[in-house]
Amino acid sequence: MQVKDIMSSAVISLLPEDSVQKAASLICLRKISGIPVADEEMKFIGMLSEKDILRAIYPSYREFYDDPAEFRAFEDLSRRYDSTVNLKVRDIFTRQTIAVQPETPVLKALSLMVTKRIRRLPVVDEAGKLIGIISQGDVHQALFNEHFHMS
């Protein structure tokens, strides 16, 4: 089984200039955990995940160490959320070069996800153009259907 057999071709993507607010809305409304980031020609350049947004909200170890009193009240984090959603995607997305092609074996894609600790992989053509996405859930469902499908 190859990636092209189970990938989603109806992939949503973001531009680096899009707002984090737009990205957060898409993530929540579509019930997904991340979105590929591509340029105007749809060339894949990275991913923006829920984790990227949360990391931007929570203080770094250095910030907390320098002024722990500032972060004692969790209510203060809402102030950081307000400033985070006003950022651009380019400010917080993960520049990722890991992607797969449609002919990649599904288990190789899964191995990449597991070893790199990522939940989804963009699918790109030979020119690096974003054409789809595959998630760990997609792989699990495909393997289950292939091996345990009951008629």
pLDDT digits (tens, 9 = 90+) for 111-125: 999 999 988 999 999
Residue 42: give the domain boundaries: 3-148
pLDDT at 151: 53
Q: State how far the alpha carbon of 27 is from the alpha carbons of 3, 51, 97, in Å.
A: 23, 11, 21
pLDDT surpasses 90 at 71: no
**Average per-residue pLDDT for the chain:** 87
pTM of the predicted protein model = 0.82
pLDDT at 146: 84
pLDDT at 70: 59
Instruction: State pLDDT tens for residues 94-113.
Output: 997 799 999 999 999 999 99
* Domain total in the chain: 1
Q: Any idea what the CATH number is for the domain that residue 77 is in?
A: 3.10.580.10
pLDDT at 42: 96
